[in-house]
Amino acid sequence: MSDTITLTGIVATTPRHLVTSAGLAITSFRLASGQRRFDRKKNAWVDASTNWYTVSTFRHLAHNVVRSVRKGEHVLVVGRLRIRDWENADRVGTAVEVEADCIGHDLTWCTTTFVRSAPAAAASRQQVEPEDTGLAAGPGAGELAHAEEVAGDFLPTGTAALAALDS
C-alpha cells in the first residue's frame, strides 16, 4: 500500500544524481517543508515546525530534476510516501521518503520557463558535466548501451512516433 502526498517546500540540498550500472537514472535531494501560522497574540505570521523529506526521482524525471532544480528553490512535489524504521550500530530512527511522480517550481515564489525535454533514450545519452552541476558525470559507454537497450523497449519508433513526440 502506498500513500500519495503533495508537498511544498524548499530544496535543502544540492540534488545528487547518479546512473546505476543497469542504466537507471536516480536523482535525490532533501526537502524542507515548513509551516507558517498566524499568531494572534503577536499579531504576526510565525514559523512553526519544519518537516524533512528525502525526495527520490527516477528515469526521465531524474534527468530533468538534475538539470532544473537547485538548492534553495521553492518546489511542489507529488509522489508516494514511504516511512520506514532504520537502525545501525549507533542509532535508530525513522526515514520519511517520497518517491516523486512529478516536481515543479512553486510559482508563488518565482517564474520559470518551460523547455520540452528530449525523450528518455536521448536524455540517457546526454552527459551531465560535473563542472555544470557539481555532480558526478553521467554513465559510461557500457552503461549507455544497456540504458539504450532498456529504453528501446519502451520508446515508440518510426517517423510517426517521432512526430508525435514533437507535438
Q: pTM for the complete prediction?
A: 0.64
Look at residue 2 in the predicted model and tell me its pLDDT: 65
What is the DSSP secondary structure assignment for residue 15, as one 8-state letter?
P
- Give the Cβ contact number of residue 138 at 10 Å: 22
Residue 33 lies in a domain: yes
Task: Find out whether 164 and 156 touch, Cβ atoms under 8 Å.
Answer: yes
Q: Which of 93, 96, 49, 57 is nearest to 77 (CA)?
A: 57
Q: Which domain holds residue 92?
A: 3-117
Average pLDDT for the chain: 77
- Give the Cβ contact number of residue 116 at 10 Å: 6
Look at residue 92 in the predicted model and tell me its pLDDT: 92
82: its cell numbers: 514511504
Using the predicted structure, report yes or no on whether residue 1 has a pLDDT greater than 60: no
Residue 83 lies in a domain: yes
CATH number at residue 42: 2.40.50.140
Structural domains of the chain, count: 1
pLDDT tens readout for residues 91-148: 999 988 999 999 999 998 888 888 888 765 554 555 544 444 443 434 443 433 333 3
SS3 at position 123: helix
Task: Find out whether 101 and 80 touch, Cβ atoms under 8 Å.
Answer: yes
